[in-house]
């Protein structure tokens, strides 16, 4: 068979949006692609997008989760606006994100999920893959679910619930083909992440290869792309998120002040990573307490402040609502604490639109009495470190 050749086009920058139902693993493949992008040498910025609902109905728009990355051969200052490429794991994620895809952009979907019942659940009257809705875009309608299951049967994985957990990895393989990326760094991640489960390592490697091979063999695109490395100054770089930078800012403040850091929190997306990082920093003398609920978390922090510790609690919009009475208690007792609100996208609590700051108003006024609270708002992941340090003052 003659080798199929694709035109390779060089681009200055690209925006990719990974979108799917909660549990489809969009944050994971977004992070894996980000890691790969760092190794290539591109500059990049990311934006994880979590639904506001704790457990939204399956295959509905309110349950769509996403991860956006903007990478380029030049300085990247934001996660981007309109996407050049959209990965949509179901009809709901397509409907929620189509308006933010550039005309002529590439849309990758799992064609197996576009069944009549799921299509209607997403709010479509007809199948958008066939009715001309996507006529202005380059559509790659791959049978992701079918091929993911088939790839894993060879190693004895026939339980579809287990096999379907790797659907996201198949789409990542397609993206790797389109942007001429090496698979080996991601293979090494699987080997480290799932070291105790050789079958899981093998399954993910097989599925990633299957996605890459599918894109190559069926000629999903006559053109592939390359983004050259950014000419960064020589030095040591690392991937950092706002949550990680926030945790480090508090650690720096604790060290500089000489006061022991105490964190009392209840796990809640997307703030949990701060709690996890603090738990891993016992070498700095940190005391991290996973409380039974939001109220217990902040009340334990108030107690720690009374005992002389540098006390803080972390949460998101729904948890901030629950903490309102305890915030009033901290004010009236004049016990200083720091509260971190990692905002979700709305509706309800969080950031419902690009122009409304519901959580900001709640932070300013969402407590009893007339006592005021100081509110600071970070504007970038790196900025989170310095603002966390300032908040501790």
Domain boundary among 192, 226, 260: 226
The pLDDT of residue 347 is: 53
Residue range 323-365, pLDDT digits in tens: 999 999 999 999 999 999 998 765 555 554 555 666 788 888 8
Number of structural domains (the chain) is 2
The reply to whether 222 and 249 lie within a common domain is no
Cβ distance 65 to 24 under 8 Å?
A: yes
Strand bridging mode 13-21 / 64-72: antiparallel
Q: Number of C-alpha atoms within 13 angstroms, CB side, residue 171?
A: 35
146-155 own/partner pairs: CB under 8 Å, 24+ apart: 146/112, 147/210, 147/211, 147/214, 148/207, 148/210, 151/206, 151/207, 151/209, 151/210, 152/203, 152/206, 152/207, 154/206, 155/199, 155/202, 155/203, 155/206
The pLDDT of residue 371 is: 84
Domain boundary among 226, 255, 273: 226
Residue 89 counted as domain residue: yes
The pLDDT of residue 2 is: 45
Which of the four pLDDT bands, split at 50, 70 and 90, describes residue 52?
low
pTM: 0.76
The reply to whether 222 and 262 lie within a common domain is no
The reply to whether 221 and 248 lie within a common domain is no
Looking up residue 355, the CATH number of its domain turns out to be: 3.40.50.970
Residue 237 counted as domain residue: no
The reply to whether 26 and 153 lie within a common domain is yes
What is the rounded distance in angstroms from the CA atom of residue 273 to the CA atom of residue 270?
7
The reply to whether 134 and 167 lie within a common domain is yes
The reply to whether 215 and 364 lie within a common domain is no
Domain boundary among 196, 226, 256: 226
The reply to whether 246 and 222 lie within a common domain is no
Residue 369 counted as domain residue: yes
pLDDT at 288 over 50: yes
Looking up residue 33, the CATH number of its domain turns out to be: 3.40.920.10
The reply to whether 195 and 277 lie within a common domain is no
The reply to whether 49 and 169 lie within a common domain is yes
Residue 313 counted as domain residue: yes
- Domain housing 274: 242-392
What is the rounded distance in angstroms from the CA atom of residue 69 to the CA atom of residue 31?
9
Q: Reading across the β-sheet that carries 338-341, which strands appear in turn? A: 287-290, 261-265, 310-315, 338-341
Segment holding 94, helix H or strand E: helix 91-97
Residue 234 counted as domain residue: no
Q: Reading across the β-sheet that carries 64-72, which strands appear in turn? A: 43-49, 64-72, 13-21, 83-88, 101-110, 138-142
* DSSP string of 122-151, one letter each residue: TT-SS-TTTSSTTTTSEEEEE-HHHHHHHH
Residue 205 counted as domain residue: yes
The reply to whether 185 and 263 lie within a common domain is no
Phi, psi of 324, rounded to the nearest 5 degrees: -60, -40
Residue 43 counted as domain residue: yes
- Mean per-residue pLDDT of the chain: 90
C-alpha distances in Å from residue 199, one per residue of 184, 219, 329, 349: 18, 30, 52, 41
Residue 75 counted as domain residue: yes
The reply to whether 211 and 268 lie within a common domain is no
The pLDDT of residue 62 is: 83
Tokens of 143: 């049978």
The reply to whether 377 and 274 lie within a common domain is yes
Which of the four pLDDT bands, split at 50, 70 and 90, describes residue 1?
very low
The string over 303-325, giving b where at least 16 C-beta atoms fall within 10 Å of a residue's C-beta and e elsewhere, is ebbeeebbbbbbbbbbbbebbbe
């Amino acid at each position: 068979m003659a080798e199929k050749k694709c035109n390779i086009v060089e681009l200055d920058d690209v925006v990719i949006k990974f979108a799917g139902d909660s549990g489809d693993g969009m944050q994971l493949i977004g992070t894996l692609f980000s890691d790969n992008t760092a190794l290539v040498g591109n500059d990049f910025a990311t934006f994880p997008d979590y639904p506001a609902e704790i457990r939204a109905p399956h295959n509905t728009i309110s349950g769509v989760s996403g991860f956006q990355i903007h990478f380029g051969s030049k300085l990247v200052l934001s996660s981007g606006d309109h996407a050049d490429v959209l990965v949509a794991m179901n009809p709901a994620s397509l409907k929620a994100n189509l308006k933010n895809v550039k005309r002529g952009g590439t849309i990758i979907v799992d064609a197996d999920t576009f069944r009549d019942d799921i299509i209607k659940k997403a709010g479509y009257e007809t199948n958008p893959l066939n009715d001309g809705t996507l006529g202005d875009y380059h559509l790659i309608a791959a049978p992701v679910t079918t091929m993911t299951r088939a790839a894993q049967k060879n190693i004895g994985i026939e339980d579809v619930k287990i096999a379907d957990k790797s659907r996201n990895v198949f789409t990542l393989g397609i993206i790797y083909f389109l942007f001429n990326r090496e698979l080996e760094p991601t293979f090494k991640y699987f080997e480290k992440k799932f070291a105790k489960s050789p079958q899981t390592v093998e399954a993910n490697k097989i599925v990633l290869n299957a996605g890459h091979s599918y894109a190559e063999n069926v000629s999903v695109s006559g053109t592939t792309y390359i983004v050259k490395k950014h000419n960064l100054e020589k030095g040591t770089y690392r991937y950092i998120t706002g949550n990680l930078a926030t945790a480090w800012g508090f650690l720096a403040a604790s060290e500089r002040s000489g006061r022991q850091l105490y964190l009392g929190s209840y796990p809640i997306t997307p703030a949990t990573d701060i709690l996890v990082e603090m738990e891993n920093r016992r070498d700095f003398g940190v005391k991290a307490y996973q409380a039974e609920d939001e109220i217990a978390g902040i009340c334990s922090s108030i107690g720690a402040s009374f005992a002389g510790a540098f006390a803080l609690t972390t949460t998101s919009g729904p948890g901030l609502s629950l903490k309102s009475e305890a915030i009033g208690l901290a004010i009236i007792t004049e016990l200083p604490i720091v509260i971190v609100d990692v905002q979700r996208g709305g509706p309800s609590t969080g950031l419902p639109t690009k122009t409304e700051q519901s959580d900001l108003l709640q932070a300013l006024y969402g407590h009893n009495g007339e006592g005021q609270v100081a509110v600071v708002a970070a504007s970038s992941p790196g900025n989170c470190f310095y603002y966390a340090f300032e908040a501790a003052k």
